[in-house]
């Protein structure tokens, strides 16, 4: 039987307590990866680590708020202390929103989205990079189709994901000589809890998904595609046919893309 490509690969996953991060941890555990799992919720994070260990993998839970630079530094130090190296960094932690810009009560939502989505990725990458250079490792950014085009009701989210995508595109060129690969993932709608935690106009989580989850990609399928892209060191992965077509249409018929984005929000996906 062929040995999984990511067996014994030391992987740091942020946002690992829920959704894509949790499923990534479980699927990589099945491959025999050595996992450093990070998220704010210590109890949920430890539950994921336990399940990974039950699958035969090594896994440590490291409570981390990626919006805090010192937390990100401590995360990488803890992983290196435990495993001796870092082979792969998966910047998955993220926060969304659901509100028109003119509905916001203040700008804290915009600031928080940028702090978590963009600076969280920057901080983790900064502290992991010296170790990744030593292993000619992998950097993986879980972005969004909102990082390819602006989406109504998610202006701050789209802005943060555009920033993330630009950061990784530049980093890919800078790090090529060091043997590092940079993979950027652009999922569409996936059945995760991220929309329930999306910030509303008042800056508080909605507590419910504003969209219909019917017919959207499952978290298991999405994660399988991500794991393969990580193993193959793909440059980028745009998940959906709609997302791929949207890039061409944006060049040829930008107003049509605007209308499609508006209708997607109106109908829930």
Other beta carbons within 10 angstroms of residue 79's beta carbon come to 26
Q: How far is CA 105 from CA 167, 206, 208, in A?
A: 29, 15, 20
Max Cα separation, the chain? 57
Q: Determine whether 83 is an active site residue.
A: no
**Structural contact between residues 63 and 90, judged by C-beta atoms closer than 8 angstroms:** no
Catalytic residue among 118, 157, 168, 211: 157
φ, ψ (nearest 5 deg) of residue 42: -65, -40
The number of residues making up the chain comes to 269
Q: What is the Cα 35 distance to its own chain's centre?
A: 16
Known catalytic residues? 157
């Amino acid at each position: 039987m062929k040995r999984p490509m990511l067996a014994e690969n030391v992987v740091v996953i942020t946002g690992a307590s829920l959704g894509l991060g949790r499923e990534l941890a479980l699927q990589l555990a099945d491959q025999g990866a050595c996992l450093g799992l990070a998220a704010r919720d210590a109890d949920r994070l430890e539950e994921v680590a336990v399940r990974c260990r039950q699958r035969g993998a090594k896994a440590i839970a490291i409570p981390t708020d990626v919006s805090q630079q010192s937390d990100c530094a401590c995360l990488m130090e803890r992983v290196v202390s435990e495993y001796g190296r870092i082979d792969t960094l998966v910047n998955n932690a993220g926060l969304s929103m659901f509100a028109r810009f003119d509905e916001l009560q203040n700008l804290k939502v915009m600031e928080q989205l940028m702090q978590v989505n963009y600076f969280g990725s920057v901080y983790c990458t900064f502290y992991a990079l010296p170790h990744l250079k030593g292993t000619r490792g992998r950097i993986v950014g879980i972005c969004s189709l909102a990082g390819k085009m602006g989406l109504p009701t998610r202006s701050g989210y789209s802005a943060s994901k555009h920033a993330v995508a630009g950061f990784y595109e530049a980093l890919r060129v800078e790090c090529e000589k060091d043997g590092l690969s940079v993979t950027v993932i652009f999922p569409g709608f996936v059945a995760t809890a991220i929309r329930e935690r999306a910030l509303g106009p008042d800056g508080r989580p909605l507590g419910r998904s504003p969209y219909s989850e019917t017919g959207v990609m499952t978290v298991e399928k999405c994660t399988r595609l991500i794991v393969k892209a990580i193993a193959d060191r793909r440059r980028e992965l745009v998940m959906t046919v709609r997302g791929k077509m949207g890039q061409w249409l944006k060049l040829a018929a930008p107003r049509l893309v605007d209308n499609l984005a508006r209708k997607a929000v109106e109908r829930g996906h």
